[in-house]
């Protein structure tokens, strides 16, 4: 999973996982460890990931409709089945008009009605395509670009904003004013995952560009374009210029470079080329006194392109992006072309998911809270919420005690850290307030229109928050999302119900497994409030440096040591992890695992951990962590992950254990083994 500077997410979302046999002792509790998956031929000190998962890796098959498999699929597929049952059982013919149940039923039915989709053809896109065709001036272009602005920022990846619209909008509290919400404008405009796909000289990226151009041509040809080959060249050429104007992912991660409040007059002066008055009026932002420009150089560069590039080139690009965004809900010929490029080429996935799975996913995306209310009623008992809340309290208490033992931290910094910990707001399972869909029209015969209206509804919801007091209890994930997130600006954590299942969390399982799996995830999220970005926000979520110079110097030295550690990991031949790019997540992994380990031992109440199936408590704890990152991924998907994600691949995250002193005696790790680090080389941050 990825994160933004204000939404530091757990490193979970992207990992779809395969079925796992979780072995238990014959006459004892479920220990939450897959004993059969361990490869005892591998020394833990040489490769802990392969030791914990080696036997599983030998036989695991990535499903044909997936780009990866691993532990997360066990939960994801169970959640998918549960939500599918809820969605399919929603009875539109019996539900009251305007009810959430009716919306769910009609949305799903419309998506599944392939005959109707074939009959509709391009009709649902006709108004948008006609509007683009009528663009006759730069002012017209600005109006159309503004009307397409949407708040479709993935909350886990907003800094690498991958919208096809030229800009993206995000709404949250101000970096310097935590009392009110403001608008953030971010770079966008690309059809491929990131700027590296356009600019890198890596042979695989060069090949992807060629296949992208072929895809653009094929999609335009399917839509009846007069010169699809020529128009495809135009699209790629303009997107390449857009990519050059964008800032890199590492640059975008620097929150201090993002604190740029511009007035409406500033846009014309600092980013000439785009008619900003026309743009903001069409976007519904004309009345905003100031907007934060997250990537100012990119906004300036993209605005200049609006003026310098031919009007016809922009019209061609907008027409393609309109077709491309709608392709999954257009007739089969369009949907298949889209999957062939984005699924087969970019992810290496050989087979498209069955339509019912795609329909379930789309319903979950566009009516997330409506489905979520049904989900928690049936699948998330109050007892589970209570137990996880207690687990969170234990981890926060362990973090608080840990602060008292840090010899390098001065009293002034320690006091600020404790204040932040005390005010941390933790949401478990589901939000206290649900999203209202009363104004969202869903029709049983208009699948693409349903999606477009849902996206617009979300945009209007975000606009309505501007200038209002901040809702610190707002959730950024639905309960049925297998994920977790830290929100530094809100100083809050969200742990959706779906991730609070076995094998991550099982109230009947051994404590070592629960602390090693969900405990490390919770610790990871808590630690994000104190990582290289979270540490820049105070207890109220205000951008403020609360470190003494000496403490900050120690922190930066330790984190750079961690970045160098991850730089050494080779994911594919000649392709290494970028330790600077993944640093925030790596910090949270080290700190989260440390806190989970301390909390586990605290939970024992001074008693020694039992030995179960020949495994000590520490061994079970670390194995649970290593197997939580169990993953097998297709090379193409891994390559995309390295280019676009701020998380290291799962097999390297499992190696976080080498930084904890307790791991060494637990598995008799000795000098000379590949993962061995001398005590002074082990990274200790929190």
Q: 386 CB contacts (<8 Å, ≥6 apart)?
A: none
Provide the phi-psi class of 6: left if phi over 0, else alpha when psi is between -120 and 50, else beta. alpha
Q: Which DSSP string corresponds to 184-229?
A: EEEE---SSSSTHHHH---HHHHHHHHHHHHHHHHHHHHTT-SSHH
**pLDDT higher than 80, residue 4:** no
Q: Is 359 left (phi over 0), alpha (psi -120 to 50) or beta?
A: alpha
pLDDT at 381: 86
- CATH match for 8-84+386-434+480-681 among 3.30.450.20, 1.10.3720.10, 3.30.70.20, 3.40.390.10: 3.40.390.10
Q: Is the predicted pLDDT of residue 157 greater than 80, yes or no?
A: no
Q: What is the pLDDT of residues 393-446, one digit of tens each?
A: 999 999 999 999 888 889 999 999 999 999 999 999 999 999 999 999 999 999
Residue 409: which residues within 8 A CB-CB, separation 6 or more?
A: 403, 417, 551
pLDDT digits (tens, 9 = 90+) for 471-499: 888 998 999 999 998 888 888 899 999 99
List, edge to edge, every strand of the sheet that includes 261-263: 167-173, 181-187, 290-293, 261-263
Predicted confidence (pLDDT) at residue 638 exceeds the cutoff of 50? yes
pLDDT band at 53 (very low <50, low <70, confident <90, very high): very high
d(CA 295, CA 247): 7
**pLDDT attached to residue 155:** 41
On the question of pLDDT at 197 being above 50, the answer is yes
Of residues 160 and 320, more confidently modeled:
320
Q: Which residues contact 492 (CB under 8 A, 6 or more apart)?
A: 424, 425, 426, 427, 472, 473, 486
pLDDT at site 285: 97
In order of 80, 182, 254, 374, 476, the CA distances from 435 in angstroms are: 21, 20, 32, 13, 11
Cβ-based neighbour number of residue 330 at 10 Å = 25
184 phi, psi to nearest 5 deg: -115, 135
Sequence-distant (6+) residues with CB within 8 A of 5 are 159, 253, 254, 255, 258, 488, 533
Q: What is the mean pLDDT of residues 63-84?
A: 90
Instruction: Determine the Cα–Cα distance for residues 373 and 669; give it in Å rounded to an integer.
Output: 48
Q: How high is the pLDDT of residue 93?
A: 66
> 3-state class of 498 per DSSP?
helix
Percent of all residues in the chain with a pLDDT value above 70, rounded to a whole number: 94
Decide if 529 contacts 393 (C-beta within 8 A).
no
Among 328-332, 384-388, 511-515, 566-570, the minimum mean pLDDT is found in: 384-388
**Class of the domain covering 138-326:** mainly alpha
Rounded Cα distance, 505 and 507, in Å: 7
How sure is the predictor about 203, in pLDDT bands with cuts at 50, 70 and 90?
A: very high
Q: Which of 4-18, 32-46, 530-544 has the lowest mean pLDDT?
A: 4-18
* pLDDT confidence of residue 686: 80
Query: Bridge-partner residues for 169, per DSSP?
Result: 185
Do residues 517 and 505 touch, judged by C-beta distance below 8 A? yes
Q: List residues bridging with 496 in a β-sheet.
A: 429
Give the torsion through C-alpha atoms of 480, 342, 359, 79, to 10 deg.
Answer: -30
pLDDT score of 156 more than 70: no
Q: Average pLDDT for residues 31-35, to the nearest whole number?
A: 89
* CB 189 within 8 Å of CB 174: no
Instruction: Please give the pLDDT value at position 159.
Output: 38
pLDDT of residue 487: 86
Q: How far apart are CA 312 and CA 14, in angstroms?
A: 37
Task: Please report which confidence band the pLDDT of residue 683 belongs to, taking 50, 70 and 90 as the band edges.
Answer: very high
For 18-30, what is the mean pLDDT?
36
Two domains, one topology: 8-84+386-434+480-681 and 138-326: no
- As a whole number of Å, the end-to-end CA separation of the chain is 22
**Residue 643: DSSP 8-state:** H
Is 257 a residue whose pLDDT tops 70? Answer: yes
Strands (E), 95-180: 167-173
137 phi, psi to nearest 5 deg: -155, 170
Domain ranges of the chain: 8-84+386-434+480-681, 138-326
Q: Which residue's structure tokens are 């380990």?
A: 597
Within 10 Å of residue 556's Cβ, how many Cβ atoms? Answer: 12
Reading the block at residue 350, the tokens are: 């050989």
CB atoms within 10 A of CB 607: 7
Interior/surface letters 150-187, b for 16+ CB within 10 angstroms, e for the rest: bbbbbbbbbbbbbbbbbbbbbbbbbbeebeebbbbbbb
Residue 598: what pLDDT? 95
Range 243-263 average pLDDT: 92
């Amino acid at each position: 999973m990825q994160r933004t500077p204000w939404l530091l997410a757990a490193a979970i979302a992207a990992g779809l996982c395969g079925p796992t046999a979780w072995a238990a002792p014959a006459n004892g509790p479920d220990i939450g460890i897959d004993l059969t998956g361990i490869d005892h031929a591998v020394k833990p000190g040489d490769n802990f990931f392969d030791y914990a998962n080696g036997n599983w890796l030998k036989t695991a098959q990535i499903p044909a409709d997936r780009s990866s498999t691993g532990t997360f699929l066990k939960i994801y597929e169970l959640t998918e089945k549960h939500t599918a049952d809820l969605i399919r059982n929603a009875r539109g013919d019996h539900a009251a008009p305007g009810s959430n149940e009716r919306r769910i039923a009609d949305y799903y039915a419309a998506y599944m009605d392939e005959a109707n989709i074939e009959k509709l053809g391009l009709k649902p896109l006709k108004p948008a395509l006609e509007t683009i065709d009528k663009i006759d001036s730069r002012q017209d272009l600005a109006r159309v670009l503004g009307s397409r602005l949407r708040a479709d920022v993935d909350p886990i990846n907003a800094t690498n904003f991958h919208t096809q619209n030229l800009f993206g909008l995000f709404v949250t509290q101000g970096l310097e004013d935590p009392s009110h919400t403001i608008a953030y404008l971010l770079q966008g405009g690309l059809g491929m995952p990131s700027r590296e796909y356009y600019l890198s000289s890596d042979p695989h990226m060069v090949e992807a560009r060629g296949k992208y151009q072929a895809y653009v041509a094929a999609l335009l040809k399917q839509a009846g374009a007069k010169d699809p080959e020529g128009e495809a060249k135009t699209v790629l050429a303009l997107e390449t210029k857009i990519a050059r104007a964008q800032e890199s992912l590492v640059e975008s991660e620097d929150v201090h470079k993002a604190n740029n409040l511009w007035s409406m007059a500033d846009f014309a002066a600092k980013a000439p080329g785009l008619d900003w008055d026309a743009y903001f009026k069409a976007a519904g932002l004309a009345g905003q006194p100031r907007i934060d420009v997250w990537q100012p150089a990119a906004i300036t560069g993209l605005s200049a392109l609006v003026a310098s590039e031919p009007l016809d080139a922009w019209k061609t690009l907008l027409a393609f992006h309109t077709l491309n965004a709608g392709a999954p809900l257009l007739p089969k010929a369009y949907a298949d072309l889209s999957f062939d490029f984005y699924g087969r080429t970019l992810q290496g996935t050989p087979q498209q998911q069955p339509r019912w799975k795609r329909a379930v996913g789309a319903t979950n995306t566009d009516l997330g809270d409506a489905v979520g209310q049904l989900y928690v009623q049936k699948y998330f008992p109050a007892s589970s919420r209570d137990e996880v809340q207690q687990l969170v309290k234990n981890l926060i208490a362990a973090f608080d005690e840990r602060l008292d033992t840090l010899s390098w931290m001065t009293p002034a910094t320690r006091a600020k850290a404790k204040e932040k910990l005390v005010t941390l707001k933790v949401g478990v399972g589901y939000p206290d307030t649900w999203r209202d869909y009363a104004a969202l029209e869903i029709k049983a015969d208009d699948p693409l229109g349903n999606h477009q209206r849902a996206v617009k509804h979300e945009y209007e919801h975000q606009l309505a928050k501007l200038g209002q007091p901040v809702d610190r209890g707002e959730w950024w994930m639905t309960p049925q999302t297998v994920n977790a997130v830290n929100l530094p600006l809100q100083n809050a954590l969200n742990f959706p119900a779906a991730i609070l299942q076995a094998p991550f969390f099982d109230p009947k399982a051994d404590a070592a497994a629960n602390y090693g799996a969900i405990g490390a995830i919770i610790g990871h999220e808590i630690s994000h409030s104190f990582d290289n970005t979270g540490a820049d926000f105070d207890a109220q979520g205000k951008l403020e440096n609360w470190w003494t110079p000496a403490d900050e110097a120690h922190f930066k030295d330790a984190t750079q040591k961690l970045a160098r550690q991850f730089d050494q990991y080779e994911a594919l031949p000649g392709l290494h992890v970028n330790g600077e790019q993944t640093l925030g997540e790596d910090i949270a992994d080290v700190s989260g695992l440390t806190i989970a380990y301390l909390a586990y031992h605290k939970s024992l109440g001074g008693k020694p951990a039992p030995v179960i199936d020949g495994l000590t408590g520490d061994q079970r704890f670390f194995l649970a962590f290593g197997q939580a990152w169990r993953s097998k991924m297709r090379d193409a998907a891994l390559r995309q992950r390295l280019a676009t994600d701020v998380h290291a691949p799962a097999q390297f995250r499992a190696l976080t254990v080498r930084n904890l002193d307790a791991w060494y005696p637990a598995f008799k790790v000795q000098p000379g083994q590949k993962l061995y680090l001398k005590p002074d080389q082990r990274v200790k941050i929190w």
